[in-house]
Copies of this chain bind each other. A is one copy, B any other.
Amino acid sequence: MAADKENSAHRSGCPINLTLEVLGDKWSLIIVRDMMFGNRRHFRELLSQNEEGIASNILADRLRRLMAEGVISKEDDPSHKQKAIYSLTEKGIELLPVFAMIGAWGRKWLPASEALSVRARLLEEGGPALWDEFMEELRVEHLGAPPHAGRPGPGVRARLQAAFEAVAGGEENAPAT
């Protein structure tokens, strides 16, 4: 049923337009963000731990669309017959630079909260080198790629999370790890 992906008559062949046709709504990128930076992989995690309060039918619909577009994938959780694990594909992982730029713009021009801006700031300051390191990490976690040798210490997400908690600790309840 997901075989018909190309026949849906795009508005135009412009790369920006095509991207907007896939991701141009208020929820799709929020879900990818939670998977990427919050490491949420199950339906319930994406539903209940979502900062913005997504509805379950919207979540189900967007997960379906993102799968059809090949941005994420879904497998059975071997430990729980009923649990599904959602993963980013390479196509999804490579949205990281887009997030970095969007985060930088939002941090500069919109009333972003101090705590939630820390990740964006670090990602911006780290530049392409940090993005590459994070993307490598995501490939290990989501695609099962072999881990890079000679890269000890906490991963990029752990570092971003630690920085967030250092700022958020005193002002609000920190979300579960």
Scan residues 78-132 of chain A and give those whose CB is less than 8 A from a CB of chain B.
91, 94-95, 97-113, 115-117, 120
| Given the contacts A6-B111, A101-B98, A111-B10, A30 and B51 also touching, CB distance less than 8 Å | no
Q: Separation in Å of the A115 CB from the closest CB of chain B?
A: 8
B101 and A13 within 8 A (CB)? no
Q: Which of B12, B21, B24, B111 sits near A13, CB closer than 8 Å?
A: B111
Is B30 a contact partner of A113 (Cβ separation < 8 A)? no
A11 CB, nearest partner CB in chain B, Å: 4
Interface contact B24-A25, CB-CB below 8 Å: yes
Interchain CB contact (< 8 A) of A103 among B16, B24, B95, B102: B16
Contact, CB under 8 Å: A113 / B24: no
Q: Is A29 part of the binding interface, using a Cβ–Cβ cutoff of 8 Å?
A: yes
Which chain B residues border A52 with CB–CB below 8 Å? 11-12, 14, 17
A22 within 8 A of B: yes
Given contacts A25-B24, A98-B105, A109-B94, contact A33 B51 (CB under 8 A): no
Instruction: Kindly report which residue of chain B lies nearest to residue A100, judged by CB atoms.
Output: B101
Give the residue name and chain of the B residue nearest to A15 (CB).
B106
Picked from B15, B30, B99, the residue with its CB within 8 Å of the CB of A117 is B15
Cα separation A102 to B100 with both chains bound (whole Å): 11
- In the complex, which residues 1-51 of chain A have their Cβ closer than 8 Å to any Cβ of chain B? 5-6, 10-22, 24-26, 29-30, 33, 51
Q: Is the CB of A116 within 8 A of B51?
A: no
Residue of B at shortest CB range from A51? B12
Query: Can you list 9 A-B contacts (CB < 8 A)?
Result: A15-B104, A15-B120, A17-B51, A19-B110, A24-B24, A94-B108, A94-B109, A95-B105, A101-B101
